[in-house]
Amino acid sequence: MPGRVLVTGGTGYIAGELIDQLLAQGYRVHTTVRDKAKHEFRLRAGWPDAGQRLQVFETDLLGDAGWAEASAGCDAVAHVASPFPLGVPRDKDELIVPARDGTLRVLHHAKQAGIKRFIQTSSAAAIAYGQPGRHHFDYTDWTNLTTGVPPYIESKTVAERAARDWVAVHAHDMVFCSINPVAVFGPVHDDDLSTSVQVVKMMLDGRFPAIPDMGMSVTDVRDVARAHILAIEAPAEKVRGERFPTATRFLWLSEFAAILCSRTPELAARVPTRRMPDWVVKTLALVVPAMKQVRGELRNVREVSGRHTEDVLGFTFIDPEQTLADTARSLAAHNLLKR
């Protein structure tokens, strides 16, 4: 029988889809936000029939207030909350400290509340970086921080390792595992867009004058949420200590453009078709912070396998062409594309 799940960071993209699926399957949900007065109305508007099956708590990853109340009575935690900026922060600790300390804080309060299952939303960022010359990765791989990686990559790696170390020392009876998504796309709930979905929006809006020679592995937000629920429901021996990458396949941005043009031609009039020379990317990176990350990924294949997740949790990922088409149509349905 469905129980009660704490989903942290309730206004986020993945958390929103997870809350939607949990409620649809009969679960009761506690969720956390940094400003309850600002966000509770929006959350309740998203699920107007949830009533008391959805409860909202005000918390902060850097403080203890509210976490005991949010955890009380829950059977499992899906710790989704973590900062994910579009640009690069001046101080990497702006990402690392809340990601690491926040995860340990949620774990501590989960243990205090007697919660036996904890699902950490980690990232493929903790799997596939800091290993020059490698292009294919799976759930056994870890990002190498000694080579120097961007702050977001470091924050996700540090947070997952810290969580695993803490559970090993302090919570032997807790069933802990991580979900490690690659770039997440799919239907949106509102205008608060994730960093990944903004890439599709920018292409459809004509914000890319040309296409950089880079790509990324793709996953669907519906599959990411489903993986969380299956990890909550699976027998303990199947998921304890596991890592579950959610990933279909690697696509170049030129392939993104081709898919959008073929699957959603009515929305793709502004999608670029020309390639952006590498020297233009490198020049823009000198003055546009977000382009620094693009420069680092030029011509780089970084493919993460989701086969282990499909095999252990027992489901098949949505095809990435369907995911990108659904992303585009959802943006249009919410009137979020440039007219």
What residues are labeled active site?
Answer: 156
Neighbouring C-beta atoms of residue 115, cutoff 10 Å: 24
3-state DSSP call for residue 132? coil
Query: Strand 215-220 vs strand 250-252: parallel, antiparallel, or unpaired?
Result: antiparallel
Q: Which H helix or E strand runs over 153?
A: helix 151-170
For residues 62 and 136, the answer to whether their CB atoms sit within 8 Å is no
For residues 144 and 130, the answer to whether their CB atoms sit within 8 Å is yes
Residues 289, 151: Cα–Cα separation, whole Å: 13
3-state DSSP call for residue 57? strand
Residues 102, 270: Cα–Cα separation, whole Å: 41
Residues 311, 327: Cα–Cα separation, whole Å: 26
